[in-house]
């Protein structure tokens, strides 16, 4: 069995929240090479999206493996140390603990992992996003695995026709449910249409009995109890041979759909699919970005990556993102650009509510006397 782990963290922004400094990337790559040489990893690749470093790794230790998570933690500690030397912004902001404790759950870094028997041809897409939250994957996963207008294989591929099972997390109540689609599709949409709370964690083929997709579901504000930056999720999608084709898995991103995040993690903005060289949001910390790295996995080796959004076919989505960003920015501090108050719990809203509590008074039925009346 091969395990593919994608583990990410923001350990310091260059400049502001826009990018990762080249020296941090070089440090992470050195650590990956050491881990390969020692036999800990079969293979590894380092990539960035915005101010996040992502470690894409193959190994044989399974999901939630302490050795792998400890390696990622130590790597992020090393890049944090360097970020502090360089005076980078928010150095180590995703590392919410002082010491590693078994695995990364609840410690800040986000991760998505899949363990699988390698097929003769194993095409995999690794999606990395910046300036948004884990629920940003809900819409594309629905379209990839449950919407025949996006994925024709749901209709014409007999291995896909039975549908897929979606594991959904309730991040507020720390519970999960599995929806059997297409039978449960309308029920599922009621929940995943609220991506701030309900997040698709994984998708499994009912016919093949294999996991097809996995996402990171860590919410930093829910872990820390305060706003410490947006979650910047990652996602793994296996493709072909009874699963969505590569083109079907990429198709949802031809639409610059709205996600939560952007400036101070407190605004709706369009998600822009970009090549890795353009994954550096700057205008109002946006628009939020997503990159797609394509690999063929053979004997655990990562053959690639291919920069899948480095394609003029996505120029329309990029133009649309710019237009939608212009439209939303004109709203200033008003909804629907700004998030609703219940999603601003970990910003100034809590302290503001306490500070102004004594100034709120009951609404009475008494009519004020007009001036001069």
Residues serving a catalytic function are 10, 227, 230
Asked if the bond preceding 287 is cis, omega within 30° of 0, the reply is yes
CA dist 21 and 33 (Å) reads 19
CA dist 76 and 62 (Å) reads 21
**Token pair for 346:** 């970990």
Q: What is the CA radius of gyration of the chain?
A: 22
SS (H, E, C) 89-114: ECCCCCCCCCCCCCCCCCCCCEEEEE
H/E stretch holding 74 reads helix 66-86
Q: Is the dihedral of CA 277, 282, 286, 288 positive or negative?
A: positive
Taking alpha carbons only, the member of 100, 85, 86 closest to residue 9 is: 100
Main-chain phi, psi angles of 276, to 5 degrees: -60, -30
Asked if the bond preceding 15 is cis, omega within 30° of 0, the reply is yes
- Annotated binding-site residues read 10, 17, 51-52, 89, 93, 102-103, 130-131, 230-232, 240-241, 264, 285, 346
Tell me the helix, strand and coil percentages in the chain, rounded to 5.
Answer: 30, 30, 40
Taking alpha carbons only, the member of 155, 150, 137 closest to residue 200 is: 137
Residue corresponding to tokens 């797609």: 292
- Annotated binding-site residues for beta-D-fructose 1,6-bisphosphate read 17, 89, 102-103, 131, 240-241, 264, 285, 346
Question: Mind giving me the DSSP string for 25-64?
Answer: HHHHHHHHHHHHHHTS-SEEEEEEETTEEEEEEEESS-TT
CB atoms within 10 A of CB 333: 8
CA dist 94 and 209 (Å) reads 35
């Amino acid at each position: 069995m091969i395990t593919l782990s994608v583990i990410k963290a923001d350990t310091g922004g260059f400049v502001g929240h826009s990018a990762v400094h080249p020296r941090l990337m070089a440090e992470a790559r050195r650590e990956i090479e050491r881990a390969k040489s020692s036999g800990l990893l079969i293979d590894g690749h380092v990539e960035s999206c915005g101010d996040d470093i992502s470690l894409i790794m193959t190994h044989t230790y399974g999901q939630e493996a302490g050795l792998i998570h400890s390696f990622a933690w130590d790597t992020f500690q090393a890049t944090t140390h360097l970020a502090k030397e360089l005076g980078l912004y928010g150095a180590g902001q995703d590392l919410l603990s002082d010491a590693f404790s078994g695995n990364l759950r609840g410690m800040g870094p986000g991760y998505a992992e899949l363990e699988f028997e390698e097929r003769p041809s194993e095409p995999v897409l690794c999606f990395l996003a910046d300036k948004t939250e884990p629920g940003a994957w809900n819409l594309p996963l629905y379209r990839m695995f449950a919407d025949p207008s996006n994925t024709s294989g749901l209709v014409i591929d007999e291995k896909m026709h039975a549908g897929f099972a979606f594991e959904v997390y309730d991040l507020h109540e720390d519970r999960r449910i599995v929806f059997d689609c297409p039978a449960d599709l309308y029920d599922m949409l009621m929940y995943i249409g609220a991506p701030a709370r309900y997040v698709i964690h994984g998708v499994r083929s009912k016919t093949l009995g294999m996991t097809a997709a996995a996402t990171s579901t860590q919410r930093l504000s829910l872990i820390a109890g305060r706003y410490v930056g947006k979650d910047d999720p990652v996602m793994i999608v296996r493709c072909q041979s009874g699963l969505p084709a590569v083109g079907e898995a990429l198709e949802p991103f031809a639409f610059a759909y709205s996600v939560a995040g952007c400036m101070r993690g407190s605004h709706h903005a369009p998600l822009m699919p970009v090549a890795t060289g353009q994954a550096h949001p700057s205008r109002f910390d946006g628009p939020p970005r997503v990159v797609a790295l394509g690999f063929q996995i053979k004997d655990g080796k990562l053959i690639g990556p291919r920069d899948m959004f480095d394609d003029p076919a996505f120029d329309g989505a990029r133009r649309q993102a710019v237009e939608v960003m212009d439209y939303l920015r004109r709203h200033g501090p008003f909804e629907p650009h700004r998030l609703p108050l219940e999603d601003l719990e970990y910003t100034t809203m809590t302290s503001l509510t306490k500070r102004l509590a004594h100034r709120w008074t009951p609404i009475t039925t008494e009519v004020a006397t007009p001036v001069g009346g």
